[in-house]
Chains A and B, each alone.
Chain A
Amino acid sequence: MRLPGTRYQEHGWEQVRKLLGQCSLLAFSRSDPAQRFEPGCRIDGLGDRLGDRLGDRLGDRSGDALAEYVDLTACALRAAGRSARAEAPGNSYGESVVELALGLLFELQARPGDWAAFAAAVGSEQHKTGAFWARPGGEAMLRKKVNDMFAVLRDKVDADNYQVACGRPCSPNRIYAYRMLDTAYGDIARMFDCWRQNAGQVGVILGREVKVNAAPIEARQMKSIASCRPEWIIRWSASQERFTGAAGPLHTRSKRFASLKNSPDKIGAMLREIGDYEELSANRDGDWQQDALDAGAWLDDLARVLGAPEAAFEPDLEPDRILPASEDDFGSGEPGCGGGDNDNNDNDNNDNNNDNNNDNNNDNDNDDRQVAQLASIAAAVSLPPRFMQLARAAQDQGSWSARAMAGDSLPVRLAVYLKMLGSQDDSYPAEWLDPATGELPTMQQLAALDQVSLPTLRKRRDAAIAGLLAAARP
């Protein structure tokens, strides 16, 4: 199913989910994960060091566990990037399974509430049954919880993407409802195709008897989901229990689709929307909005909108035009949906480590001992001896980001770029790149250059990003 802006609603999602599950387990792995990761990405799996306390540790409120999980899983995803599963198309906009998986992982990083819900689920299972992940079959249980987390997240992300793309309100539950209708249509279309074998239920759906010697005209006329009639969906759902033994989605005990069941108009509008967009998007090749992500022109627009003289009207007389929160049509009756709403600890800005910035960010290159030391550290992580000096000189000191990160060491700054823009970007000066790979140094190399541990570098990097974000925010 395609809708404006959505990226995670097509068949490729199954593979995205599986890849995320597989790589998450690697990140949690108790075995030696180093062998499975790319060189230079040697890590200890979260579970390795945590042993029996995985559940407790995941729930750690500082956000460290999430940051570590994201880094480890991203590493595993990139290492898996050339597998057939990872390279397969994940949607019809040309994004591969691994690209979509990485995208969703980085969305998770920005949504600590969803992580907290996952951690709580692992923690509560641990309370009940102990270190379940270490027992036979326990991996599958852990993977199921990971799957649940990403299943909730994909609909949240796509609800946002939809709103951004078309400006209409949308909730994760509404995305779920679109998908339910799409699946229902698929099942009806399948039965229409084999109407003889399904004459009983096809008759119920059409509301009339189907003769075995005459193909129902409706089946021929239904060319796409846009021409599927809402009452067919309702009758299909109502008859599912009788014909398959399992209640149809509109007729379960859940209140989720209660408002839809009696609203054929709403169902019809949603079916048409899916069909119309599918027709529209089928005619456009690769016109995906992502391509303009880095164009800076909109930043000027934003500055202009926020900096323009205020509207002439008197604020007390003229009400503002802020939209009221819209009522969602779809209740969140299912378990696993809307999870994480109870834990909004996203104001945790890691401000506890600004006092120990003893890094080599004073440009004192004259000190021979320091030069020699930097050279030996650089050599130890296979970088050119003068990497630090050259990379520092290549910074644009007057730039906004350099000024905003003036208090951070060079390796921390490079770690920020690495996280925000990836290891390769055409705006990086050549002096920042590891000549061996043509990419930014890895987190491991940067930690060595900064003479700190990987978790410390990660912490400082995330603190620097939080600072940058405050500076970038209008």
Chain B
Amino acid sequence: MTTQDDLTAQSDSTTPSALDCKLRARLLLGVRVENDRLVLADDVLAAALDGGAGLGASERAALAGSPLTMRRLRQLSVERARAWQASSGMLRAAATVCVLEQLVTDDNCWGLHFVPGGAGWQVILKLAADAPFAPALMREQPMLRVRDGGGAVILQGRLDIDGECENAWPFDGAPAARLQLFGASFVVEALRG
């Protein structure tokens, strides 16, 4: 079967439609094999998900032949996505020279945009659509907080349907200067009960 290539190619070319995603998920998750069992341990699956130790050929074949193990992989994938707690980022040196417009977390999952407005600035937090935890986070809608290196809160709120959240820049002075004062770093985190 060449379907493994198809599956890989799929994610490379176009983004599959919601309909296709649902259909494929239902197809893959709906298969049952008599006396199916977990053929790979959680740590093996987790390592493969993390991109560390990949699966060998026989392990892949075992996974492909065990819908139950595939469902477990999905569960781990979903849990991993849900488990996002915080992302951090740094202000690059160059950013101090020009006016600060945008910062990105090290994992590329969050952008922080600064837009001049009125007397000061608006700061906008934006979730990258391709962040692995994006779907789970959009569903969960936890309270989010962005803090600078000194721990002061830059922004707090929940994402809107576009995956954005904004408020006025809460400090005196321009963002770049303020951030530099406290180690040029920032962190985006979820506040969960």
Residues of A bordering B, CB below 8 Å: 106-107, 110-111, 113, 160, 163-165, 167, 169, 289, 291-311, 313, 315, 318, 320-323, 325-326, 340-341, 344, 346, 396, 398-401, 416-417, 420-421, 425-428, 465, 468-474
Contact B72 A296, beta carbon cutoff 8 Å: no
Report chain A residues within 8 Å CB of B4: 306-307, 474
Report chain A residues within 8 Å CB of B10: 303, 400
Report chain B residues within 8 Å CB of A427: 17-19, 22
Report chain B residues within 8 Å CB of A311: 53-56, 59
Contact B21 A294, beta carbon cutoff 8 Å: yes
Contact B24 A295, beta carbon cutoff 8 Å: no
Shortest distance from the beta carbon of A321 to any chain B beta carbon, whole Å: 5
Report chain A residues within 8 Å CB of B38: 163, 167, 169, 323
**Proximity bits, B1-27, A CB within 8 Å = 1, else 0:** 101101110110010111111111111
Contact B11 A303, beta carbon cutoff 8 Å: yes
Report chain A residues within 8 Å CB of B30: 106, 110, 420
B41 within 8 A of A: yes
Residue of chain A at shortest CB distance from B49:
A301
Residues of B bordering A, CB below 8 Å: 1, 3-4, 6-8, 10-11, 14, 16-42, 44-45, 48-49, 51, 53-60, 62-64, 68, 70-78, 81, 132, 134-136, 139
Report chain B residues within 8 Å CB of A310: 54-57, 60
Report chain A residues within 8 Å CB of B77: 297-298, 301-302
Report chain B residues within 8 Å CB of A301: 49, 73-74, 77, 132
Q: Which of A107, A110, A320, A474 contacts B64 (CB 8 A)?
A: A474
The CA-CA distance from A425 to B20 in the complex, in Å, is 12
Contact A326 B37, beta carbon cutoff 8 Å: yes
Q: Which of B14, B32, B39, B72 contacts A111 (CB 8 A)?
A: B32
The CA-CA distance from A318 to B134 in the complex, in Å, is 37
Report chain A residues within 8 Å CB of B40: 321-323
The CA-CA distance from A163 to B63 in the complex, in Å, is 15
The CA-CA distance from A163 to B77 in the complex, in Å, is 15
Among B4, B14, B20, residue most surrounded by chain A Cβ atoms (within 10 Å): B20
Q: Which of A309, A318, A322, A401 contacts B54 (CB 8 A)?
A: A309
The CA-CA distance from A313 to B57 in the complex, in Å, is 11
Contact A325 B37, beta carbon cutoff 8 Å: yes
The CA-CA distance from A401 to B21 in the complex, in Å, is 9
Does more than half of chain B's interface fall in helix, strand or loop, or is it mixed? helix
Contact A470 B1, beta carbon cutoff 8 Å: yes
Shortest distance from the beta carbon of B83 to any chain A beta carbon, whole Å: 13
Among A321, A401, A468, residue most surrounded by chain B Cβ atoms (within 10 Å): A321
Report chain A residues within 8 Å CB of B11: 299-300, 303-304
Report chain A residues within 8 Å CB of B75: 164-165, 167, 289
Q: Which of B19, B26, B58, B81 contacts A399 (CB 8 A)?
A: B19
Contact B16 A296, beta carbon cutoff 8 Å: yes
Contact A468 B21, beta carbon cutoff 8 Å: no
Known contacts A292-B136, A302-B74; A322 and B62 CB within 8 A of each other: yes
The CA-CA distance from A341 to B36 in the complex, in Å, is 12
Top 10 nearest A-B pairs (CB, nearest first) are A296-B21, A298-B77, A307-B8, A110-B32, A427-B19, A427-B18, A301-B77, A472-B27, A295-B135, A167-B42
Report chain A residues within 8 Å CB of B44: 321
Known contacts A309-B54, A421-B23, A469-B27; A164 and B72 CB within 8 A of each other: yes
Contact B21 A299, beta carbon cutoff 8 Å: yes
Known contacts A296-B16, A473-B3, A473-B64; A107 and B32 CB within 8 A of each other: yes
17 cross-chain CB contacts under 8 A: A111-B34, A160-B32, A164-B72, A165-B75, A303-B8, A310-B60, A320-B62, A322-B62, A323-B38, A340-B34, A399-B17, A420-B23, A420-B26, A420-B27, A465-B27, A472-B27, A473-B27
Shortest distance from the beta carbon of A156 to any chain B beta carbon, whole Å: 9
The CA-CA distance from A302 to B60 in the complex, in Å, is 10
Report chain A residues within 8 Å CB of B33: 346
Contact B19 A302, beta carbon cutoff 8 Å: no
Report chain A residues within 8 Å CB of B70: 302, 474
Report chain A residues within 8 Å CB of B54: 305, 308-311
The CA-CA distance from A326 to B30 in the complex, in Å, is 24
The CA-CA distance from A421 to B21 in the complex, in Å, is 11
Report chain B residues within 8 Å CB of A292: 78, 135-136, 139
Report chain B residues within 8 Å CB of A320: 56, 58-59, 62
Q: Which of B3, B6, B34, B42 contacts A341 (CB 8 A)?
A: B34
Report chain B residues within 8 Å CB of A416: 23
Contact B68 A160, beta carbon cutoff 8 Å: yes
Report chain B residues within 8 Å CB of A474: 3-4, 7, 28, 60, 63-64, 70
Contact A304 B51, beta carbon cutoff 8 Å: yes
The CA-CA distance from A186 to B138 in the complex, in Å, is 41
Contact A298 B74, beta carbon cutoff 8 Å: yes
Report chain A residues within 8 Å CB of B42: 167
